[in-house]
A and B are shown apart, each in its own frame.
Chain A
């Protein structure tokens, strides 16, 4: 069965520091996609970054990078130079369905950035 595990219910980081949010996944399918979404207190889901299972390089999007370690089945999100506006819930998600790309979400990590 496919599963996403986020073991950190909450994280604190000081402004301008880097932070890593952990995500491990479980699937036997060789083809999958990994996503990170940000959910601020207003509730919307904001896409941050994507990593395909066949991608050779780690994905980067501005201050976000994904540390993809395929053998360990981990896809950690690294946020560099944290900002106060980064305070939010962060969800790791995976798509494995051959036909529909439904997303399977982890339980999330609440990140708090303090001055």
Chain B
């Protein structure tokens, strides 16, 4: 069964350092997402990406964050200068349809297993 793959599974970084979280979405999917979950809290939307550009972002996704699809398979989240409060589980997700076509069919977003980021 196809799956979304994230690497690394756990990353520890010093405050102020840059980190890149990597994701390989399911190959025929077109819509890509990053979510984060601070320990013990709910999952929060960060950004969505379609057709090589950001389609929507939350207020969490400030100038310190960026996303990229450098080739046909990878989807990355970069945090430029990490803060302690960036410590969280980061989930990548992908789906093959979205938006106005989606409400008549299941548009399940497949999630990766997550990257636990610890900023010290």
Total count of chain A residues near the partner, CB < 8 A: 30
Contact in complex: A98, B99 (CB < 8 Å): yes
| Tier of interface size on chain B | 20 to 34
Contacts of A47 in B (CB 8 A): 108-111
A52 to B103, CA, bound (A): 6
Contact in complex: B103, A31 (CB < 8 Å): yes
Contact in complex: B114, A101 (CB < 8 Å): no
Contact in complex: A95, B102 (CB < 8 Å): yes
Contact of A103 among B41, B45, B104, B116 (CB under 8 A): B45
A-B contact pairs, 12 of them (CB 8 A): A31-B100, A32-B103, A44-B114, A45-B114, A50-B108, A52-B106, A93-B43, A97-B99, A98-B100, A99-B55, A102-B33, A102-B45
Seen from chain B, the residues whose Cβ lies within 8 Å of a Cβ on chain A are 31, 33, 35, 41-45, 48, 50, 55-56, 89, 91, 93, 95, 98-100, 102-114, 116
